[in-house]
Amino acid sequence: MINNFKFLKIVLLGFGFLSISLLWSLYNTDIPVILQKSYKISSFAVGWIMNLDNILALFLIPLIGALSDRTWTKLGKRMPYIITSLPLGAIFFSFIPWIPALFGINTSSLILLILVILLMNIFQAIGRGPVISLMPDLVPPENRSPANGIINFMGGLGSLIAYFIVGKISAVNRTLGFSIAGLIQIVSVWIIFLAINESKDSLVMTKVERENNEFSFKKLINLKDKNLIFLLLAIYFLVL
């Protein structure tokens, strides 16, 4: 079992998942409403805009994950990506409902809205991989299943907060609802930053250990047991 110290660390790390789930739950519910009711664009166009996160995630999450594997700073491997990208993504997210209010309903406003949505998606995709990777960095393999359960619980709690609290606020005052969700993500990143010191808490500390633990597609292709490949493909299509 996870000791009390590690348990607390994983719960605090879970705030990252809580804020991501909250933000995306609100995003998936409210953005189509903004696009269709305010700008009167077609369901087909809305579908493409709403798929931006999946398209970007397909390329950015593996790329940033690989980059963070090869990164080591005084703040650690993952933390530089987390503390820069997620707060920026939260700020762009909070700004989304202000655009039609400040700039009116017109073509220029719609272009600006799509640009802000794109930037928000980029920053969220950059931060997501390192947040996910932090848990196995902190927890030994035999304890990762219960740790993953804690992380998933925190993500589910974020969705519940979105649907029963922040979502209801957003239905009445969308700018306030989005601002609350963005603020929760910024505070969650601050909690992670204060709670986790990668230099002390990470299990992969030295350059040799990092190189031995690095995952690459070349290693994957050369594996004699191909079950891992099929497992990864199954997860890939599940996420899609």
Which has the closest alpha carbon to 34: 90, 99, 92?
99
For 181-196, what is each residue's pLDDT tens digit? 999 999 999 999 999 9
Domain range enclosing 137? 4-201
Q: Is residue 193 in a domain?
A: yes
Q: Is residue 237 in a domain?
A: no
In contact, 90 and 182? CB cutoff 8 Å: yes
Domain count, the chain: 1
Q: Is residue 179 in a domain?
A: yes
pTM listed for this prediction: 0.86
In contact, 228 and 220? CB cutoff 8 Å: yes
In contact, 73 and 197? CB cutoff 8 Å: no
d(CA 17, CA 117): 20
| Sign (positive or negative) of CA dihedral 43, 44, 45, 47 | positive
Is pLDDT larger for residue 206 or for residue 66?
Answer: 66
CATH code of residue 65: 1.20.1250.20
Structure confidence at residue 68 (pLDDT): 86
Q: Is residue 235 in a domain?
A: no
pLDDT surpasses 90 at 206: no
Q: Is residue 190 in a domain?
A: yes
Give, in order, the Cα–Cα distances in Å from 147 to each of 1, 11, 187.
Answer: 9, 9, 22
Q: Is residue 226 in a domain?
A: no
For 25-48, what is each residue's pLDDT tens digit? 999 999 999 999 889 999 999 999
For 43-98, what is each residue's pLDDT tens digit? 999 999 999 888 888 888 888 888 888 888 888 899 999 999 999 999 999 999 99
Q: Is residue 236 in a domain?
A: no
Q: Is residue 54 in a domain?
A: yes
DSSP-based three-state secondary structure for 101: helix
In contact, 50 and 118? CB cutoff 8 Å: no
For 101-117, what is each residue's pLDDT tens digit? 899 999 999 999 999 99
Mean pLDDT over each residue of the chain, to the nearest integer? 86
Neighbours of 187 (CB within 10 A): 14
Structure confidence at residue 209 (pLDDT): 46
